[in-house]
Every structure is written in structure tokens, then in C-alpha cells.
Amino acid sequence: MDLTQQDWAERLANDPNAFILDVRTDDEWNDGMIPGATNIDIYKGQGFIYAVEELDRSKNYYVYCKAGSRSAQACAIMGQLGFENTYNLIGGFMNWKGETAFPQD
């Protein structure tokens, strides 16, 4: 499901079963991320699928990338793998107005 920035942030804030998934590259991830996110680079192809298959399907997945197209693709892939609740951030991280953090080394 595609959600606006505001709807995505509001749902996330009120969802105790949320899992934030960042599907950007390592370089993009190192430029900043949404706090609490886990990074699995969609460009890793089969590696992305292997990593996603290890995730808990009972969680609600809030997925983002830089602009919103890779995360939409990730949500579609996850749906095919049996994930029922995936939420794509329209506009991606480049339009994110919420809190940001940097990965810890």
C-alpha cells in the first residue's frame, strides 16, 4: 500500500508491530536514515530476497528508499513472498520531514 509521508509517519508512530525497512544502497544509508530502520539493499537481487525471507511475516513493514520507486518494488516482492502488510513511503527519504539518524559504525 502506498502512503503519503504524513500517513506513513502517523501509522508508524501508532503501530507497536512496526518494522522499518530501508531498501537503499549502503552509500545512501550512510547519508542518513529513519531511526530504527533496518537496511536491506534491493539492488542485491537474490541476496535481497534471501534476507527478506528471514523476516517475521507477522510484522507490519514500513518500506522506504530515496524516492519511492524501489520501495514500491520491494513491497511488491514482499507481497509475492507472503508478507501481508507492507507500506510504501511515497516520495521516499528525500522528502522525509521526520526525525533522521545516522547508522552507527
CATH architecture of 2-95: 3-Layer(aba) Sandwich (3.40)
Is 65 part of the annotated catalytic residue set?
yes
Give percent of the chain above pLDDT 90. 97
pLDDT tens digits along 5-48: 999 999 999 999 999 999 999 999 999 999 999 999 999 999 99
Residues 6+ apart with CB under 8 A from 76: none
For residues 17 and 91, the answer to whether their CB atoms sit within 8 Å is no
The yes-or-no verdict on residue 104 having pLDDT over 80 is no
List 52, 65, 74, 75, catalytic entry: 65
Dist. CA 93–CA 12, nearest whole Å: 15
Helix (H, G, I), strand (E, B) or coil at 100: coil
Q: pLDDT value at position 29?
A: 95
Asked if the model's pLDDT at residue 76 lies above 70, the reply is yes
Strand order in the sheet with 38-39: 2-3, 86-89, 60-64, 18-22, 38-39
